[in-house]
């Protein structure tokens, strides 16, 4: 008797357990399909974000003739721009691939050149650093090679205007040749000079000066009396007004 | 039936997801502040500035850090939604966050070639968050 009741109880228990198992399995399947849907949805959203990120092209619309017009008639000697006896010198450290450097060149440099360099009050030096990647060295080499034709600044300016995503491989030999050609430079000469010891010396010099001044990011600036001691200029590189104020200060300090 | 023992771990997971999303919110909030204040983040890896200054620091004009703030906030808010749908929403949001974090980490390592430890911390938080949120979805309470 008691054993029969026990076995009936067991059978009922087993049946309930089987039902519970089936229910649990169904729920598990349902949750797995929810996870599958979540994964699919997430993949689509992330894919869209990646596409937006890759398509984000911040190239400037400045042309070679805009760049030529900005520097037209201003003396250049190697990496230096402006009258050699201008009372104040502003040194710019820039990596050709650095987006903030391109931003400075686009937003602030034109007014500095027009208001101070053209007026003979300021001379600038362009110290090109190449820490971002190999493309930086190719472009910087091209810019310094353009110094043989006194167009370092035009070259760098146009290279910034055509800047693409960092280390995407855009800054190759063809990029250098196209800029040289669009600036009416002798492109063959630029290409051959970019591998010259003179250009290498300029790049080494920029790197050593940056190390000595503990420049750890670009763009960075030094300012001071021409031929005198230059000190780091800590300003917002996107703000015209703070640059103008800093140059005015340096001018009044230089007498 | 034994409701309470199986509910406890899920509640712990909810708490874990909440804590992780608050931590992520703090990191992304700090980076957003740094972005708008145009100051350099406190950095031990040396690469933060380069990462923050790179082209990829913004997506369609929005700083990536701000997108992170929105993401972590959305995950925290999704915890308020109850039931299986709520848990699925949390898991989905954290999977999106993880996928985007992985893409950003790929950019750091292979494209920008600089590491920002804040971003790494955020990616790790997002990884833990996703693990917790997915576990929470697959092992829910017997409610």
The string of DSSP codes covering A36-81 is: HHHHHHHHHHHHHHHHHHHH--------HHHHHHHHTT--EETTEE
> How far apart, in whole angstroms, are the C-alpha atoms of residue A185 and residue A193?
12
Specify the DSSP element, H or E, that contains B51. helix B48-53
Output the CA–CA distances (angstroms, integers) from residue A190 to A100, A170, A203, in the order listed: 26, 18, 15
SS3 A255: coil
* pLDDT for res B108: 84
- Asked if the C-beta of A167 comes within 8 angstroms of chain B's C-beta atoms, the answer is yes
| Gap from B32 CA to chain A (nearest CA, Å) | 17
Report phi then psi at A56, rounded to 5.
Answer: -65, 95
> How far apart, in whole angstroms, are the C-alpha atoms of residue B115 and residue B92?
27
Cβ contacts of B98 on chain A, cutoff 8 Å: 42
> How far apart, in whole angstroms, are the C-alpha atoms of residue B80 and residue A8?
46
Handedness of CA A72, A73, A75, A78 (dihedral sign): positive
Per-residue pLDDT averaged across B31-48, rounded?
75
| Gap from B26 CA to chain A (nearest CA, Å) | 23
The DSSP line for A141-177 is HHHHHGGGGT-HHHHHHHHHHT--STTSS-SSHHHHH
Under the banding of pLDDT at 50, 70 and 90, the label for residue B143 is very low
Instruction: Indicate the length of chain B as a whole number.
Output: 143
* pLDDT for res B4: 44
More confident position, B2 or B108: B108
Under the banding of pLDDT at 50, 70 and 90, the label for residue B2 is very low
| Gap from A234 CA to chain B (nearest CA, Å) | 11
Q: Which of B34, B43, B99, B110 to mutate to test the interface with A (most CBs of A within 10 A)?
A: B99
* pLDDT for res B1: 43
Handedness of CA A72, A74, A75, A77 (dihedral sign): negative
The stretches in chain A having pLDDT less than 70 are: 1-5, 56-60
Interface of B with A in 5-64 (CB under 8 A): 38, 40, 46, 49-50, 53-56, 58-60
- Asked if the C-beta of A42 comes within 8 angstroms of chain B's C-beta atoms, the answer is yes
- Asked if the C-beta of B74 comes within 8 angstroms of chain A's C-beta atoms, the answer is no
Closest by Cα among B95, B97, B116 to B107: B116
| Gap from A45 CA to chain B (nearest CA, Å) | 7
Closest by Cα among B15, B23, B32 to B90: B15
| Gap from A141 CA to chain B (nearest CA, Å) | 21
* pLDDT for res A218: 87
- Asked if the C-beta of A252 comes within 8 angstroms of chain B's C-beta atoms, the answer is no
- Asked if the C-beta of B103 comes within 8 angstroms of chain A's C-beta atoms, the answer is yes
Report phi then psi at A13, rounded to 5.
Answer: -60, -45
Q: Which residue has the tokens 């400075």?
A: A104
Output the CA–CA distances (angstroms, integers) from residue A83 to A92, A124, A155, A156, in the order listed: 16, 9, 19, 19
Is the pLDDT confidence value at B9 over 80?
Answer: no
* pLDDT for res A94: 94
Least confidently predicted of A7-11, A205-209, B26-30, B97-101? A7-11
Neighbours of A204 (CB within 10 A): 11
Per-residue pLDDT averaged across B83-112, rounded?
90
- Asked if the C-beta of A50 comes within 8 angstroms of chain B's C-beta atoms, the answer is yes
User: Cβ separation of A132 and B50 shorter than 8 Å?
Assistant: yes
> How far apart, in whole angstroms, are the C-alpha atoms of residue B65 and residue B55?
13
Per-residue pLDDT averaged across B12-22, rounded?
94
Task: Give the ipTM of the model, two decimals please.
Answer: 0.81
- Asked if the C-beta of B84 comes within 8 angstroms of chain A's C-beta atoms, the answer is yes
Under the banding of pLDDT at 50, 70 and 90, the label for residue B26 is very high
* pLDDT for res B3: 43
DSSP A114: I
Under the banding of pLDDT at 50, 70 and 90, the label for residue B74 is very high
User: Cβ separation of B55 and A49 shorter than 8 Å?
Assistant: no
* pLDDT for res A51: 86
CA A26 centroid distance within chain: 54
> How far apart, in whole angstroms, are the C-alpha atoms of residue A218 and residue A220?
5
* pLDDT for res A54: 75
* Model confidence pLDDT, tens digit, residues B107-120: 888 777 778 888 89
Report phi then psi at A93, rounded to 5.
Answer: -100, 125
- Asked if the C-beta of A52 comes within 8 angstroms of chain B's C-beta atoms, the answer is yes
B120: tokens are: 């790494």
> How far apart, in whole angstroms, are the C-alpha atoms of residue B16 and residue B23?
11
Is the pLDDT confidence value at B63 over 90?
Answer: no
Q: Which long-range contacts (CB under 8 A, 24 or more apart) does B52-55 make?
A: B52/B116, B53/A98, B53/A99, B53/A100, B53/A217, B54/A99, B54/A166, B54/B107, B54/B112, B54/B114, B55/A56, B55/A58, B55/A99, B55/A165, B55/A166
Is the pLDDT confidence value at B45 over 90?
Answer: no
* Model confidence pLDDT, tens digit, residues A170-228: 999 999 999 999 999 999 999 999 989 999 999 999 999 999 998 878 899 999 999 99
Least confidently predicted of A19-33, B36-50, B69-83, B120-134? B36-50
Cβ contacts of A19 on chain B, cutoff 8 Å: none
> CB within 8 A of A174, min separation 6: which ones?
none
What is the rounded average pLDDT for all residues in chain B?
Answer: 84
A104: tokens are: 């400075």
Report phi then psi at A127, rounded to 5.
Answer: -100, 105
Q: Answer whether the bond into residue B81 is a cis peptide, omega within 30°.
A: no
Nearest chain B residue to A41 by CA distance is B92
Under the banding of pLDDT at 50, 70 and 90, the label for residue B28 is very high
């Amino acid at each position: 008797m008691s054993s029969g009741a026990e076995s009936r109880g067991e059978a009922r228990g087993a049946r309930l357990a089987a039902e519970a198992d089936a229910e649990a399995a169904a729920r598990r399947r349902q949750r797995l399909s929810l996870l599958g849907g979540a994964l699919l949805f997430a993949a689509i959203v992330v894919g869209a974000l990646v596409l937006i990120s890759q398509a984000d092209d911040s190239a400037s619309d400045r042309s070679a003739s805009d760049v030529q017009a900005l520097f037209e008639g201003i003396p250049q000697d190697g990496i230096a721009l402006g009258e050699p006896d201008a009372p104040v010198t502003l040194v710019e450290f820039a990596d050709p691939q650095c987006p903030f450097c391109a931003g400075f060149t686009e937003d602030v440099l034109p007014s500095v050149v027009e208001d101070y360099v053209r007026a003979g009050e300021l001379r600038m030096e362009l110290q090109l650093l190449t820490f971002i990647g190999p493309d930086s060295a190719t472009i910087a080499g091209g810019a310094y090679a353009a110094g043989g034709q006194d167009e370092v600044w035009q070259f760098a300016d146009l290279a910034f205007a055509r800047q693409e995503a960092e280390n995407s491989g855009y800054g190759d030999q063809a990029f250098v040749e196209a800029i040289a050609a669009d600036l009416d430079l002798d492109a063959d000469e630029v290409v051959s000079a970019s591998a010259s010891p003179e250009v290498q010396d300029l790049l080494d010099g920029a790197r050593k000066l940056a190390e000595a001044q503990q420049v750890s990011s670009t763009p960075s600036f030094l300012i001071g009396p021409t031929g005198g001691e230059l000190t780091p200029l800590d300003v917002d590189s996107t703000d015209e007004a703070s640059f103008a104020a800093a140059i005015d200060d340096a001018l009044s300090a230089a007498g | 039936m034994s409701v309470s023992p199986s509910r406890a771990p899920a509640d712990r997971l909810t708490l874990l997801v909440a804590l992780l999303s608050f931590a992520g919110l703090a990191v992304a909030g700090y980076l957003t502040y740094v972005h708008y204040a145009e100051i350099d983040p406190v950095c031990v890896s040396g690469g933060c500035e380069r990462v923050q200054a790179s082209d990829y620091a913004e997506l369609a004009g929005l700083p990536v850090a701000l997108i992170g703030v929105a993401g972590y906030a959305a995950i925290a808010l999704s915890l308020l939604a109850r039931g299986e749908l709520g848990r699925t929403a949390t898991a989905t949001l954290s999977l999106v966050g993880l996928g985007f974090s992985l893409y950003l980490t790929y950019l750091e390592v292979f494209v920008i070639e600089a590491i920002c430890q804040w971003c790494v911390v955020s990616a790790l938080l997002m990884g833990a968050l996703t693990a917790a949120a997915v576990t929470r979805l697959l092992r829910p309470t017997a409610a």
